[in-house]
Amino acid sequence: MAPELAGIERIEARFHGKGFEPHRHDTYALGVTMAGVQTFSYRGEARFSPPGNVIVLHPDEMHDGGAATEDGLTYRMIYIPPERFLPATAARGRTLPFVAAPVIDDPKLAGLLLDAIGSMDAAIEPLKLDELLGEIAGLLLDHAGAPQAKMGRLAHPEVRRACDFLRENLSRQVNSGELEQVTGLDRFALSRQFRQLLGTSPHRYLVMRRLERAKTLIAAGESIAEAAFASGFADQAHLNRHFKKALGMTPGRFAALAI
């Protein structure tokens, strides 16, 4: 796992057989199969990605993952929060792209993703990263095809305030009334706007930010119980349930891989 880039996670994985149980992210999960054939279940179908192909998984979409052959698998992934694409999509008058095909043969997109993933032990300059994200968003919009129907005014500032508030209050319970006060939107309008702009719900956004903090603490050597408490989970069992559901592995396995 590479150093995190402002909420963007990068990994390179190698394994044989089944790698991950069904799980989902609240980010775009974009990757390139480097060697072997990658297989995963997505939207009710078995999918296969040979070397050089691009994998596009949307926020909150359930999937698993593994190697399709006995030769094993190597792939590189980057997990991009939807809000990082918003400047580029807004410039085109579009909302977040939905690419129907989860496996794409697009050498240009593959090259951009590998450039964004970069060296796994180094950070990327912020300006370069912003430029790459803009180009990646543009290609995803091209693959998405015709614009989806618009939803009226998109509440970018309000949703951003909600995100900031949730990140600042990870370690405690947050209620809908607080978000209504912060954003000026009622809870139902905020939920619709959240899903339109970020592809997820306010509560799931909060849970995923808690998991990010827990991962950081566990990777730094904190015990799982301490990481659970510091990240806003009720106890270790509560963290375990959310960790496996969201990431397809237990905190214990993650800790072993992070060593």
The pLDDT tens digits of the residues spanning 198-219 come to: 888 888 899 989 999 999 999 8
CA atoms within 13 A on the CB side of 197: 24
Q: What is the pLDDT of residue 106?
A: 96
Report residue 228: phi and psi, to 5°: -60, -50
**Angstrom distance (rounded) from CA 170 to CA 246:** 17
| Domains (range + CATH), the chain | 9-144 (2.60.120.280), 153-259 (1.10.10.60)
**Angstrom distance (rounded) from CA 113 to CA 211:** 24
Q: Is the CB of residue 121 less than 8 Å from the CB of residue 11?
A: no
Q: What is the pLDDT of residue 1?
A: 55
Q: What is the pLDDT of residue 147?
A: 61
* Nearest residue to 213 via CA among 249, 181, 169, 257: 169
The pLDDT tens digits of the residues spanning 43-90 come to: 889 999 999 999 999 988 888 888 888 888 999 999 999 888 888 887
Report residue 168: phi and psi, to 5°: -80, -10
Q: Low-confidence residues of the chain, pLDDT below 70?
A: 1-6, 120, 146-153, 259
